[in-house]
Amino acid sequence: MYQTYLYCNVNFVCIETIVLASNNLNKLEEIQVLLGSQFSVIPQNVFDISPIEETGVNFEENALLKAKSVYDIIGRPVIADDSGLEVAVLDNQPGIYSRRFAGNNATDDDNIEKLLRKMHKIPLANRAARFRCVIAVLGARGVDQPVMFQGEWVGYIAEKRVGKNGFGYDPIFVDLESNRTAAELNAIEKNKISHRAKAIQSLKSYLLGDD
């Protein structure tokens, strides 16, 4: 028998709490929406855990590193997400450095501007890109070995920013099927097709025992 962390409200609806190995509120909000009301996702800083240094060489290593680091401290179900943008013509940059592409303290605007400069004069045919998301979960369903889930979103890099929604590189990432940037999509549209949505859908099935 393993320990779960459930809160049951006055209507006897039980919600499982799971810790996100991150303090990124944009990421937390998106994951919470994708997992739905059966789960309550809380950030690691609730337990006074500082950001985990991402020293892995790929998304998989970083997701595992973050999940294991937090799980070893709190001993309860943890999920860790490592995501990023890969641009084929740039040898898959920015990749694992997506969040700090323009420097450790870079803003989303800084990162976008750097990428647009690097893509200057590159023709549309060579602007292919994809978002990737890798999720590691530890401690759920009594399993103390990591279980991994992945998702990707294929598109290309726009020549300029378009749209007001989302965060990160959303204003310059164009969805291949709709030909709209991620920032032109509303949350409902994005959460049907994004890299994170695909990975979280698999994670949710696992957490609910539907796999």
pLDDT attached to residue 14: 53
Which CATH number fits the domain that encloses residue 167? 3.90.950.10
Dihedral-angle region of residue 37 (phi above 0 means left; psi in -120 to 50 means alpha; beta otherwise) = alpha
- Please tell me whether the peptide bond between 77 and the residue prior to it is cis, using omega within 30 degrees of 0: no
Distance between CA atoms of residues 2 and 54, nearest Å: 30
Distance between CA atoms of residues 28 and 17, nearest Å: 13
Residues with Cβ within 8 Å of 174's Cβ and at least 6 positions away in sequence, in order, are: 155, 156, 157, 158, 180, 181, 182
- Spot the catalytic one: 48, 72, 81, 82: 82
Is residue 82 part of the annotated active site? The answer reads yes
- The reply to whether 53 falls in a domain is yes
Q: How many domains does the chain have?
A: 1
Distance between CA atoms of residues 6 and 8, nearest Å: 6
pLDDT attached to residue 49: 95
Cβ proximity of 111 and 97 under 8 Å: no
Residues with Cβ within 8 Å of 132's Cβ and at least 6 positions away in sequence, in order, are: 59, 83, 84, 85, 86, 150, 151, 152, 195
- The reply to whether 143 falls in a domain is yes
- The reply to whether 58 falls in a domain is yes
Q: Which two tokens stand for residue 111?
A: 């990162």
pLDDT attached to residue 41: 94
Identity of residue 45:
N
Q: Which of 205, 187, 199 is nearest to 81 (CA)?
A: 199
pLDDT tens track, the chain, 211 positions? 234 454 444 444 456 899 999 998 989 999 999 999 889 999 999 999 999 999 999 999 999 999 999 999 999 999 999 999 999 999 999 999 999 999 999 999 999 999 999 999 999 999 999 999 999 999 998 888 999 999 999 999 999 999 999 999 999 999 999 999 999 999 999 999 999 999 999 999 999 987 6
Distance between CA atoms of residues 115 and 105, nearest Å: 16
Distance between CA atoms of residues 189 and 197, nearest Å: 10
- The reply to whether 1 falls in a domain is no
User: Buried b / exposed e across 91-106, counting CB within 10 Å, b at 16+?
Assistant: ebbbbbbbbebbeeeb
What pTM value is reported for the model? 0.89
Supply the range of the domain harboring residue 200. 6-207
Dihedral-angle region of residue 163 (phi above 0 means left; psi in -120 to 50 means alpha; beta otherwise) = left
- The reply to whether 196 falls in a domain is yes
